[in-house]
Amino acid sequence: MRLIVARCTVDYAGRLETRLPEAIRLVMVKADGCVAIHSDGGAYKPLNWMNSPNTIEELTDAWVVRNPKGETMTILFHEIFYESAHELGIDPGLEKDGVEKQLQELLAASPDVMEPGLVLLRREHYTALGPVDILCKDPNGNTVVIEVKRRGEIDGVEQLTRYLADLANDPTLGTLRGMFVAQSIKPQARTLAESRGIMCVEVDYDELRGKKSDDWTLFN
pLDDT by residue (tens digit) across 59-102?
A: 999 999 999 889 999 999 999 999 999 888 776 655 555 567 88
Q: What is the pLDDT of residues 2-61, one digit of tens each?
A: 999 999 999 999 878 899 999 999 999 988 888 999 998 766 678 898 888 889 999 999
Q: Which amino acid is at 40?
A: D
Q: What is the pLDDT of residues 174-198, one digit of tens each?
A: 999 999 999 999 999 999 999 999 9
Q: Please give the CATH number for the structural domain made up of 2-85.
A: 2.70.180.20
Q: What is the pLDDT of residues 101-152, one digit of tens each?
A: 888 889 999 999 999 999 999 998 888 788 899 999 999 999 999 999 988 9
User: Which pLDDT belongs to residue 213?
Assistant: 43
User: Which pLDDT belongs to residue 214?
Assistant: 46
Return the CATH fold of 98-219. Answer: Trna Endonuclease; Chain: A, domain 1 (3.40.1350)
Residues 6 or more apart whose CB falls under 8 angstroms from that of 181 comprise 107, 114, 146, 147, 148, 149, 152, 200, 201, 202, 203
Q: Where are the domains of the chain?
A: 2-85, 98-219
What dihedral angle (degrees, nearest 10) is formed by the CA atoms of 49, 53, 59, 62?
Answer: 0
User: Which pLDDT belongs to residue 129?
Assistant: 82
> Is the pLDDT at 204 greater than 90, yes or no?
no
